[in-house]
Structure 1
Amino acid sequence: MAQAFCTDTAPPAERHEYWTDAVGKAFIPLEVRTRGKIGIHGAIRQACLADVQIGTLQASPQRMARTGPLIDAGGDGPLVVSLHRAGAGVATQDGREIPLMAGRLVLLDARKPYELDFAGPVRQHLATVPRELVDLPDSALRLATGRAFSPERGVSEVLASYVDALATLTHRCTCAPNQCGCAPASKEFLRQGIVDVLTALVALEGSTEDHGAVERALLPHVRAYIRAHLDDPTLSPASIAAAHQISVSYLHQLFRDEPTTVGRWIQRLRLEACRKDLIRPELAGLTVAAVAHRRGFVSHSHFSRAFRAVYGLSPAEWRQDCLPGAGAPQERSDGARGA
């Protein structure tokens, strides 16, 4: 879905409130303050690639802040990727001040306070990525967020190019509906692309940290084991702990600084795998229940409820939206139920 916002559509007395609301709807709730006596002016073009938001923001001089109350009210905040295209300013997070200038790529963690201070008119390409999609520990994120990267080399260059291209695609979507050339299935792969490149950048920056503790060295092996056995319906904290000769309580301790528990992380990985499988043409002949079963879900009803809770629609609705010609698969002889 594509959206466009512009303060010129609101009466002058209501533009500040309109702009604050627009920023929150398009990307993330922020507290907006004028800079000096200059009024608020701004425009946003934004589109969603599933749960990843991408777009362009142009604005007059102003201050934007991700405050404690907004964080408390909004739950888990996403990672914010900002490619600065024009104007000057300063971003602040974790006590670090980051000069903003054309070409700078900045990564911020919306679960923690930050502030953006634009001394003049500004234009940015922005992407917000849910934290849980970046499959790395918070210790790595702490090293990568609240920082600026040069988009002229390495992984940061790839990420900057990706954000730039997706923002351009967003402009076509908002200016000419249905002309962006992206089928739902294509958008799913575009979404995964930005998640993968962002994860690579965070992993690169976080790899320099000396964890010291044995548990930090063990955690990547546990994660790899979970991914390798994700399709096993008997995978559980108990089986994972036994495979690594540790207690279940110690396994949970390994994940204590993670954004979710072991069990919920396993479920999210399985849901992501099913989400992709449901739009694979070669699997169109499988029922929704069969797709879920092959990814480790035992209960079809539990899978359907979990899928809707995360993505806002049923597995069957998701498949039909992305593969409208697939139809409803017939019941299989293996006993799997349909959607």
Structure 2
Amino acid sequence: MNGNASAAIQTWSTDAVPAPQRLDYWIGAVCEGFLEMDVTSSFTGSFNATLESAPLGAIGVNRVRGTAQDVYRRRRAIAHSRSNYYYLLCKTDSPWVAVQDDRSARMLPGDVVMVDSRRCYEFHFLQRADTLSLELPTAWVEAWLPDAADQVARRIDGQSGWGCVLSGFVQQLSPEVALQPPMPAALLTDYLGGLLSLAAGTHGTATPSESGRAELRRRVLDATRERHAEPGLTAASVARGLGISERSLHRALSEGATTFAAALTGFRMQVARRMLGDARFDRLSIAEIGFRVGLTDASHFVRQCRRHLGATPGTLRRQR
């Protein structure tokens, strides 16, 4: 890494190591300069890459140049991360692919895409890895994009509309510009946030109709009912399965005067009451019935029954 001062461009280059060690060096550089990720390449014998990074106010400006490669952000890496960000990427020389949440964005030169490092993603740089990547604090992005989670791995067309304006602005950023910005960094980042909001289509979006909100609420409840037996089921997991943001899920339920936790517990207790009241399930222990409704801790299951059904599981069995 070159440059010790805070106002210097940090640089990692595979030129610093012998050819057989370059891919391993690059994986370490990516983990140090970005976050923990895995990198593979079919060009190990001729692999080369460089990462240059500099801060621009609250965001980071990163420029990558290098051989074709595949980049993976996996669950294990996410679990180890102390910090997470959104990344906004733009590549101008060749097509590539970004994947997140089972959504695949096939990118053309100049297109822009965003990913969230709190969820698994993949980048497939098919010809070259030359890319500009902006590191964006999660709170900053979510202040500009109310449904930020819905925007990941969605191709923003860099050739038309606000996407074209966003792409042009992003392409003007570089580590060198970050060190000597043409105007205060706060103004540049605000401009970026506004363009991102416009390009993502969230600015001036019409409020969904009441029928649309009711339909979304029904979908959320149906999905939660269907998956109630999954231990540790979360709102985030249900939202991902529906292709919506967690915020949208909570908003839909709140408009129906309920919460995800209340809905999930209600579905679990409905099934538990039915099983405890049916002699065909007497061969199952109380703990096994709890497990079948998604509660792996038997004592927690007993407490939930007492609170929501008015009696312990054993009492409910005897009272039928």
* Separation in structure 1 between the aligned mates of residue 84 and residue 18 of structure 2, nearest angstrom: 31
For residues 32-74 of structure 1, give each alpha carbon's deviation from its aligned partner in whole angstroms, at most 9, with x where no partner exists. Answer: 1122554431012221113311132111111100111111111
Q: Tell me the equivalent position of 1:188.
A: 186
Name the CA shift for 1:31/1:254 in 2 (closer, same or farther; >3 Å). farther
Shift of 1:256: 8.5
In our comparison, the structure showing a higher alpha carbon Rg is: 2
Query: Counterpart of 1:18 in 2: which secondary structure?
Result: helix
Query: CA RMSD of the aligned region, Å?
Result: 3.6
Equivalent of 1:22 in 10, 13, 29: 29
Q: Tell me the equivalent position of 1:93.
A: 100
Q: Tell me the equivalent position of 1:270.
A: none
* Separation in structure 1 between the aligned mates of residue 36 and residue 181 of structure 2, nearest angstrom: 28
Query: Counterpart of 1:164 in 2: which secondary structure?
Result: helix
Task: Give yes or no for contact 1:83–1:125 (8 Å, CA) kept in 2.
Answer: yes
Q: Tell me the equivalent position of 2:66.
A: 59
1:47 equivalent to 2:54? Answer yes
Shift of 1:207: 4.0
* Separation in structure 2 between the aligned mates of residue 256 and residue 171 of structure 1, nearest angstrom: 47
Shift of 1:79: 1.4
Shift of 1:206: 10
Query: Counterpart of 1:43 in 2: which secondary structure?
Result: strand
Percentage of pairs with the same residue: 19
* Separation in structure 1 between the aligned mates of residue 144 and residue 180 of structure 2, nearest angstrom: 36
Task: Give yes or no for contact 1:135–1:199 (8 Å, CA) kept in 2.
Answer: no
Task: Give yes or no for contact 1:35–1:63 (8 Å, CA) kept in 2.
Answer: no
For residues 276-320 of structure 1, give each alpha carbon's deviation from its aligned partner in whole angstroms, at most 9, with x where no partner exists. Answer: xxxxxxxxxxxxxxxxxxxxxxxxxxxxxxxxxxxxxxxxxxxxx
Q: Tell me the equivalent position of 1:212.
A: 213
Count of matched residue pairs: 214
- What is the TM-score when the length of structure 1 is the normalising length? 0.54
Q: Tell me the equivalent position of 2:79.
A: 72
- What is the TM-score when the length of structure 2 is the normalising length? 0.57
1:102 equivalent to 2:100? Answer no
For residues 170-229 of structure 1, give each alpha carbon's deviation from its aligned partner in whole angstroms, at most 9, with x where no partner exists. Answer: 2467xxxxxx5438x822332333233324434528947847169x9xxxxxxxxxxxxx
The list of structure 1 runs, each at least 4 consecutive aligned residues, that deviate by more than 6 angstroms after superposition, is 253-257
Q: Tell me the equivalent position of 1:312.
A: none
For residues 143-176 of structure 1, give each alpha carbon's deviation from its aligned partner in whole angstroms, at most 9, with x where no partner exists. Answer: 3211111112332222212211112xx2467xxx
Name the CA shift for 1:254/1:31 in 2 (closer, same or farther; >3 Å). farther
Name the CA shift for 1:74/1:196 in 2 (closer, same or farther; >3 Å). farther
Name the CA shift for 1:121/1:193 in 2 (closer, same or farther; >3 Å). same
1:125 equivalent to 2:111? Answer no
Q: Tell me the equivalent position of 1:84.
A: 91
